[in-house]
Amino acid sequence: MPLIELIGVSKDYDGDPIFSGLGLAIGEREKVGLVGGNGSGKTSLLRIIAGLDEDYRGIARRREGLVAALVPQSFEPPRGPTCVGLMLEAA
């Protein structure tokens, strides 16, 4: 069984299809690149693979015990002292 398998996966927003009938199988040691324009569904697909989005049609399976994670597109650094600021204070 592949690590990740998608069968006939479709996703839309407000009736507008993002992708339709998508099939994908990712095996062990395989490397995959995902390229597309803004709004083409890259993040939506990754959210489905990671199990963070259940609003789709089709089948998305991950091998039992597999942990999939998604790094957010934007990062908001924590408030408070920074590493550089602490080093400058100590100098």
For 59-85, the pLDDT digits (tens) are: 999 999 998 888 877 877 778 888 888
Q: What is the pLDDT of residue 76?
A: 78
Q: What is the pLDDT of residue 34?
A: 93
Q: Hey, is 49 helix, strand or coil?
A: helix
Q: What is the pLDDT of residue 46?
A: 94
Q: What is the pLDDT of residue 75?
A: 76
3-62 per-position pLDDT tens digit: 999 999 999 999 999 999 999 999 999 999 999 999 899 999 999 999 999 999 999 999
